[in-house]
Every structure is written in structure tokens, then in C-alpha cells.
Structure 1
Amino acid sequence: MKTITSLRDTRPEDLPAITAIYADEVLHGTATFELDPPDEAEMASRLQAVLALDLPWLTAEIDGQVVGYAYLAPFRLRPAYRYCVELSVYIAPEARGRGVGRALMEALIARARAMGLRHLIGVIGDSANAGSIALHKATGFREAGVWRETGWKFERWIDVVLMQLDLTPDGRPPERDGLRL
């Protein structure tokens, strides 16, 4: 498979592929603790909720085929958290290990910085998800904690690994208003 040929803002016509990528992870992976794949209408609703907060949702393509997506969403909905967002990345199985996830993450990190945000949080399902943990570390995240055996999926308990990227490590006051929560 070739490298990314397009990294762009998500469009409505991307939703069938995005829905399929996420459904594969729901059914076969531990990156999400959902048990039933949401339909395209639900994924469209999730996309609109992110965009309504002026947060980015990006799509990666290789030769016109959607192979991954990533977005920022509020970490928590209380106003004090308005400078902190959660980063989510999902890659089609055939595109994993080809730099798609890293490209999406780096683009979102740059957007978060430009927005004046303070922290990015990675919430990684499964402490055995070495690829995702390594990707987060490679883009500057550090481990912030582990919630042990908090999810029950595939007939086993699964940890949640929390990782954090501090975009303003000097702790200076915010220069912008943050998210509208």
C-alpha cells in the first residue's frame, strides 16, 4: 500500500468509510469499548457534534480510498476543562503500520496548538495495545495513568491507558478563550 495521498477535513461523503472503519474496531478491537457498531446516521451525528464546537475531524486517504480518521473532542463538558481535548484515531486494518495514524495525530496536534489548547488526552483501550501506546509516545504524549480492568469486552477485563500531551508546559495563562462548552 502506498503512503497517504490526502489528509483533509472530513466531508459527509466520507461517512460510509468512517462508519466501516469504526465498526471493524468495535467488532474486532479494543480501542473502543462499544459493543455494537453505530450506524452511519449516528456517526454523522458524532461528526456534527465535533464540528459544532469548531474542533477538527480529519480524514486520511490513499489513492482516493478513506483509510483513517481522527478528531478532537471535549475531554469533559464542564467549562474548567475548555482547554483540554481528547484525541481519537482510527485506522483501517489494511493501512495500519504505514504512518497514517502518525500523520493524523501530528495534524491534530498542530491544530490544537493553533487553537490555543493546553492538553491533549489519549484514552487508549487495552494496555496491551502496544501500537497505539507507541504512537502516542512517538508524538510526545506521556503516560498519565491506567484504569485497571475497567472494561469488559471479548470475555475479558480490559485496562484503559491515559496519555497526555502538554502543549504549553510552561504553565502560562491561556491566550484564547478555549472551547465553548
Structure 2
Amino acid sequence: MTTATIRPATPTDIPAIATIYAQAVLHGTASWELDPPDEAEMLRRFEAILAGGYPYLLAERGGAVLGYAYAGAYRPRPAYRATVENSIYLAPAAQGLGLGSLLLDALMQECTKRGFRQMIAVIGDGTGASVGSRRLHEKAGFRLIGVAERVGFKHGRWLDQMLMQKELGEGDRSPPAF
């Protein structure tokens, strides 16, 4: 495992975040976008996450951004307000070093502190190229709750979408505070 600092992301991190995300969009199946958004759009998305009261974290070492993670609304309707969906992206050179676990652990802690009760991981191609994401979430205690088969098409092939879930804090043992 590599030593890294996990901290809240700031607007000045957007160029590095956009670069990492562009790599995932162009070459991976974690994101099902086909064209990478520009820095202005990434900043708009970043600000929307923060404005919604969700965490946006960054992993860095020696001033270099290695990856990032954030949580956002699982679904927009009010009844889902205690459930978040997570996203984690790592620079290619930072993959397989344990940074995903560091980011996910920190993200779960931050979401629990904010009163969220369930976290959903939506994993694109969890049985193929994104098997690392599936394993990362399994290691963190997520359980498989479903697979939607062949619902996305990217890089010339059909992709499955895997859903995994983990309870945060008190889970469903009491109503949420918000």
C-alpha cells in the first residue's frame, strides 16, 4: 500500500480530477460516459456535490493527485435522501496500491458522520474490466444486490451493471435525522 494523504478536494484540484476522469471515460468501463467532460463541467459537478451536502475527497502524495472519491444522491426523490451512491477514480499509475480502500473507507466515515444510512456502489462491468472495483467493495463489506445484464454499450461490447450495498451507521434501525 502506498502512503497518501486523504483530504477534501478543492476547486484547484479540478484539472487533476478531470485528467483522471478523462482516462477512465476514454479507456475504462467504470464510467459509461463516452466523451470526457471539460474542466468547466467537472467544476460544475464538483460544486453540485458540495452544495448537496455530500463529501468529495482526494488522495495525494507529494502534491500529486492520485485519485478521488465522492458521494452523491442515489436517486433524486426525497425518500432516498439517506442513501448515497459512491464514485471512486484512480490515476492509472495509482491503481492496485490500496488507495481505493483508503478513499472508500474515508468516504464511508464522512458519509456516516453526515447521517447517511446506506451506500450504493453502481459498478459498470463488474464481472469484466471493473472486477477490481467489485473486489474493493466486497473487501469493504458491500454485498451484491443485483446485476442488470447488458444494459450499456461501450468500447464495442455490451456491459453489465452491478449494484452493491453497505449499511452506514445505524442503517435502517432508526429513521434518518433529516
> TM-score scaled by structure 1?
0.93
1:148 to 1:41, Cα distance in 2 relative to 1, 3 A? same
Please report how far the alpha carbon of residue 168 of structure 1 lies from its aligned counterpart in structure 2 after TM superposition: 4.8
Contact 1:84–1:121 under 8 Å retained in 2:
yes
Q: Give, in whole Å, the separation in 2 of the partners of 1:146 and 1:121.
A: 13
Contact 1:116–1:174 under 8 Å retained in 2:
no
Aligned to 1:134, the other structure's residue is in SS state helix
Unaligned runs of 5+ residues in structure 1 are none
Quick one: which amino acid aligns to residue 101 of structure 2? R
Please report how far the alpha carbon of residue 32 of structure 1 lies from its aligned counterpart in structure 2 after TM superposition: 0.6
Q: Give, in whole Å, the separation in 1 of the partners of 2:95 and 2:81.
A: 32
Q: Counterparts of 1:151-166 in structure 2 under 5 Å?
A: 151-166=152-167
Q: What are the Cα deviations for residues 37-89 of structure 1, in whole angstroms up to 9, with x where unaligned?
A: 00000000000000001110001001110010000000000000000000000
Q: Give, in whole Å, the separation in 1 of the partners of 2:67 and 2:171.
A: 33
Quick one: which amino acid aligns to residue 22 of structure 2? A
1:9 is matched with 8
Q: Give, in whole Å, the separation in 2 of the partners of 1:36 and 1:170.
A: 36
Q: How many residues are treated as equivalent by the alignment? A: 176
Quick one: which amino acid aligns to residue 91 of structure 1? L
Q: Give, in whole Å, the separation in 1 of the partners of 2:113 and 2:81.
A: 15
Q: Give, in whole Å, the separation in 1 of the partners of 2:70 and 2:171.
A: 25
Aligned to 2:174, the other structure's residue is in SS state coil
Q: Give, in whole Å, the separation in 2 of the partners of 1:175 and 1:32.
A: 30
2:113 is matched with 114
Contact 1:59–1:70 under 8 Å retained in 2:
yes
Please report how far the alpha carbon of residue 4 of structure 1 lies from its aligned counterpart in structure 2 after TM superposition: 3.3
Please report how far the alpha carbon of residue 130 of structure 1 lies from its aligned counterpart in structure 2 after TM superposition: 1.4
Q: Give, in whole Å, the separation in 1 of the partners of 2:99 and 2:171.
A: 30
Identity fraction in percent: 49
Aligned to 1:117, the other structure's residue is in SS state coil
1:101 to 1:161, Cα distance in 2 relative to 1, 3 A? same
